[in-house]
Structure formats: structure tokens, C-alpha cells
A = this chain, B = another copy of it.
Amino acid sequence: MHSKLEQLLSKFIYIKTLQEDAVNKSSTLYGYIPLNGEKEVSKDNRAILHINNQILSAIDIQEYFNIRNTKDNDCYHWGEGSLKTKDDASPYKFNLIYPASDKHLSKYDYKNRNFQVIETPELYRNVVKPYIDYNIQEGSIQWVHNIIQGKTEQESIRFDEPDFLVLPDMKWTDETDLKNMYLLLLFKNYQFTSIRELCTKEHLTMLKNVKKFVENEILTRYGNTSIDKVKLYFHYQPSYYQLHLHIVHADNELNYKSMLLGKDCHFLDTVINNMEMMIDYYQKCNMVYYLTDTSELYKRLKEAM
């Protein structure tokens, strides 16, 4: 599955456009790749193709060529190449998710179907935590474990510390473009599935050390950026259940979608402050967020509520 990206792309059959983004100039396409000549889309052959630097009607794509496979990790594939449309041939970067899971797809299915969840500590214990455990057992964060275990994406790691790794987010393709800085700080301890699991003085100390490290080491390396020029935050619910801190330039406008209210960001400084006031704040508080009713987690919560 890790090879033949050119072959995968050449067999990509377009179904519909999931997202067209005029700000990012990018398109996200849904389709399938019938490697074994299947006639229909199935759980095993679904694919999500994200193309940077292009807004195009996917139907116009006639050919991909000169494809260079830059990175693979589990179901994620990155590359560069050219593509030919009716009118034009131009270079692009892309990533392909193949095979794409229900969770991958529901991420794009956010239109018209957002519902509020007030997650009490009881709902967390009885519904969300079991869902997370199931999710991890099913291998949904195998790709994260691969990075932490040194198996993949090692060339992307910018800092490797005892507690965490730092690497550029997939959306930040040009690391000299500081204004669009987007780094991820990935905690190594599998126990930290989300901020819900942060509850001891040791955890608080770890967070404070992370903040110092961001200021003194990471931002120093990236153009001596000042700490008040970045946004440091966690998502809840996160996209994947291994704790990671977003490090985003305060003037970054490209990646605004991940900063939308629906995604429910929690600033590192707020998390630290809440834990200083009440060390088990994140075990006692209600978490408020929005889910699409097509997501597996929402279905489970709805049953329990």
C-alpha cells in the first residue's frame, strides 16, 4: 500500500468535491480507487484527495504526471507533481488518504449538521472514554504511533524531547514563511489522549515546561518569533486521540478553518490557569463542543443522553 502513488492516482475515480477553499486555494475531492477492478465504491477503496495551490473543478482533471511520492504513513500519502486540465498544466502538491475511514469522511461532512454536546464528566467516563479506547484499538492513530516509535516521518521531526516531538503540520508547506507558521507538538505518553486526561501537578509542570520550550527553543529557531505572536491551543474534541498542541502564528490566515469556534480550541495558557486554580479542572468540568450527527461519537452520545 505504500508504493505506486502514481498508480493510485491514475485510478482515482472522482465522486464529489468535499471542499473548495478560495483562501487556501485548495480542493478536497472524494472518490475511490478500484485497484482490483471493483466496479463500486466500498469501505476498502474510498479515498480523499487534497490538492494544494489549485482551485479547480475536479471533473476537469485529465491527467496527473511526474508524480514524486514525498512521504507515506499508514493510510496517508504525500506527493508533488503536475496535473493537466482542459486548459492548463500546472504543478501542485497533494495528499491522499487511502483507504479513507468513516472518521476521515465525517470531518468534511460538517455542513448543515452540527449539534451541541455538553460533555459532563459522567458522559466522558461512560461514553467518550470507551469510544476513544475503541477508536485507538481499531488503529485510527497507528500513524501517530508510527511517528512516536520512529518508524515514519522522521525527516519531519524538528525537535525530539523526552516528553514530546515537534513537527510541521501538513498544511505548513514552506517553513521559511513564518507568518503562516503551523507546528504540532505531539506528546509521547499514550496516556494523554486529550486534555481531559491532564489532572495532576506533574501534568501541570509538564505543560509549563512545554510553554518555556516553545518560547526558548522552538520560536528561537523560527526567526526569533515572540511568544505573544503565536496561538498555542488544544482542540477538544481533537481530530485524533493523542494529545497534541497547535503552535500557530497569530497572523496566520491560511488555516483559519481549524481555528473556527466549532472546533473548540483551548488555549494552553487557559489550560494552565484552570489547573492552577483547580488541579483536576479537566476531570470536573463540562466540555462544550459541536459534532456532526453522522459522526460515530455523536451517535453514541445521543444514545446515552
Write the residues of chain A forming the contact surface with B, with a CB cutoff of 8 angstroms: 22, 111-118, 179, 227-231, 233, 250-251, 253, 256, 259-262, 265, 267, 269-270, 273-274, 277-278, 281, 284-286, 288, 290
Contacts and interface: CB of A to CB of B under 8 A. Distances in A.
A292 B23 CA distance: 21
A117 to B, nearest CB: 8
A231 B278 contact: no
A227 B115 CA distance: 9
A231 to B, nearest CB: 7
B229 A116 contact: yes
8 closest Cβ contacts across the A-B interface?
A259-B261, A114-B250, A116-B228, A273-B286, A267-B288, A269-B288, A115-B228, A112-B251
Given A111-B253, A261-B265, 17 more contacts: A112-B251, A113-B251, A115-B250, A116-B229, A116-B231, A116-B269, A233-B261, A250-B290, A259-B262, A260-B261, A261-B261, A269-B286, A270-B286, A273-B286, A274-B285, A277-B278, A278-B278
A112 B227 contact: no
Given A229-B116, A278-B277, A251 B288 contact: no
Contacts of A250: 114-116, 262, 290
A21 to B, nearest CB: 11
State the main secondary structure of chain A at its contact with B: mixed
B284 A277 contact: yes
A256 B260 contact: yes
Contacts of A253: 111
Contacts of A290: 231, 250
Contact of A114 (B114, B251, B261, B278): B251
19 contacts: A112-B251, A114-B229, A114-B250, A114-B251, A115-B228, A115-B229, A115-B250, A116-B229, A116-B269, A231-B261, A259-B260, A260-B261, A269-B288, A270-B285, A270-B288, A273-B285, A273-B288, A277-B278, A277-B281
Contact of A116 (B22, B112, B230): B230
A19 to B, nearest CB: 12
A215 to B, nearest CB: 12
